Structure 1
């Protein structure tokens, strides 16, 4: 596929999007959990990969004892403060997948012990999360019906904003699938369908690139393996975005399909498969890709695909391209 053709596709997408509102209410797929009490910050600090702050919203992950991702989440302080300690009534809202809300509550309550922190699911009819991207990002950020907002830190710049809003003010201008396609184009994985709970490692899922890990914070659940991986500098596979080069054959690529080398390839880099498809939406998708295959021409079920490694070009340091002996 020629560079000129790729540019024409991007230009067409941009022209179409400029004529529409690009915001979505995540009420159908996300729900909020409220953490409230004087020990809220201390309690969550021992469970999350990111440093817990009451100063601003942030992105983080919850791991199991083996250092594998259970939940990726966004945290929103209900009342921003400039102090981090001795706050009598700390409140944080955490955004997680709606269908896994009971699983999330069971996980965090298991470690609550004597912490003075009440954990309750928020009624979806009370509060929801609104996201906006490209020309609508500023609109969502300035919504007067909302709680503190954030530029989604997972993206390479201020491309998408998120905000907790009153459910009556939460509305969608486009389908949820467009939010998914926008994420895929920018290499952003989200939720259990893309970050497999209990088996995905945080570095392979790009939590570090998406600013969801603080490698210098104190102890937290699953920290040992995560920090060791960071310091050894060896991550052999990553979630990367791809584009289907033959749009007429989109249906041939399914979730969990294995990637393969094209016939034109000089030969296999190793005996392992280059990776597998995690999700698709239109001509874009996400795949778990072994980094030794980054510069190889790949296909899926006979359909040529292009790994869009330029999205994470700056993050793909030499330490991430080490191969096995």
Structure 2
């Protein structure tokens, strides 16, 4: 990746006296952190604790900017408008005025990705038609690092927050007050019951097709999500995959797990689990 390059993102401005308070009541992250940090990673969950949209929350003088994938932005805007109720806050799409820029090294005004510094440096800036599109390069980088893109690797309301690696990637504040879906997230964290997770897999040649089952013998453990030559993300029962005695396969080829060191692994499943 050469930096800075442009990412395809929607920017939603939330402004007004109640902007922080309103969002703090619904998002997974503690927005008081924005008093000292320029950006945090967060998500909006369904009441059952599954991810509807993940996003970056940028500090602004009169509120925040939500940096979200365009595939999830309309639904996010609608849901936040519903949750806003009587809060003195205004939502508007700022994408026509602003770009999100990404680079693999520090550049003027950029900050390290709050999920994982190795993902690169990020900022929002006024629209600039001379800046090139860097989406493909960033896609290759995040697959190499094993970081899921929740707008591509999962459907809305498909995965719980901890299955989506929000714990590992700094997307949940467990010590804050209530947020939508908090009860389930807290229970899964406290009881360490997250057995299904995203994990990188490696193989020879082209990636198995998106959605291809991951098998241990005849047992289906999950499915392949986005990938490239030699590497992909899979969403699977990681405890069973770690304990599998039969070779793992997907799309007719042998694969193996390649969890990054930062991934919180569940205990391997015992017989009969």
When normalised by structure 1's length, the TM-score is 0.76
The aligned runs of 1:173-252 (5 Å cut-off) are 175-244=134-203, 246-247=204-205, 250=206
Mapping for residues 93-104 of structure 1, pairs under 5 Å: 93-104=65-76
SS class of match (1:274): strand
CA distance in 2, matches of 1:257, 1:105: 32
Matching of residue 131 in structure 1 with residue 102 in structure 2:
yes
In the other structure, the counterpart of 2:5 is: 24
Structure-2 separation of matches of 1:71 and 1:41: 18
Are the aligned partners of 1:241 and 1:286 in contact in 2 as well (CA < 8 Å)?
yes
Q: Distance in 1 between matches of 2:200 and 2:192?
A: 22
- Per the alignment, residue 316 of structure 1 pairs with 264
Q: Which residue of the partner structure matches residue 249 of structure 2?
A: 299
Shift of 1:196: 2.1
Alpha-carbon distance between aligned partners in 1 of 2:159 and 2:106, rounded to the nearest angstrom: 33
**Match for residue 69 of structure 1?**
51
- Is 1:256 the equivalent of 2:211? yes
Structure 1: unaligned runs, 5 residues or longer = 1-19, 80-89, 144-148, 262-267
Matched, 1:105 2:77: yes
**How far 1:21 sits from its partner (Å)?**
2.1
Aligned to 2:115: 154
Equivalent residue runs for 1:39-50 within 5 Å? 39-50=18-29
CA contact (8 A) 1:48 1:62 kept: yes
Partner of 1:60: 42
* Gaps in structure 2 of 5+ consecutive residues: none
Distance (Å, rounded) in 2 between the aligned partners of 1:237 and 1:187: 15
Q: 1:282 to 1:24 in 2, by over 3 A?
A: farther
User: In the superposition, relative to structure 1, how do residues 294 and 181 fare at CA in structure 2: closer, same or farther (>3 Å)?
Assistant: farther
Counterpart position of 1:35: 14
Greater helix share, 1 or 2? 1
1: CA distance between counterparts of 2:96 and 2:164? 31
Q: Does 1:275 align with 2:222?
A: yes
Partners of 2:71 and 2:164 in 1: CA distance: 21
CA deviation after TM superposition for structure 1 residue 278, in Å = 1.2
Root mean square deviation of aligned Cα: 2.1
Match of 1:286 in 2: 233
The answer to whether the 8 A contact 1:235-1:320 is kept is: no
CA distance, structure 1, for counterparts of residue 210 and residue 146 of structure 2: 16
Structure 2 equivalent of residue 163 of structure 1:
123
Structure 1: distance between partners of 2:71 and 2:262: 35
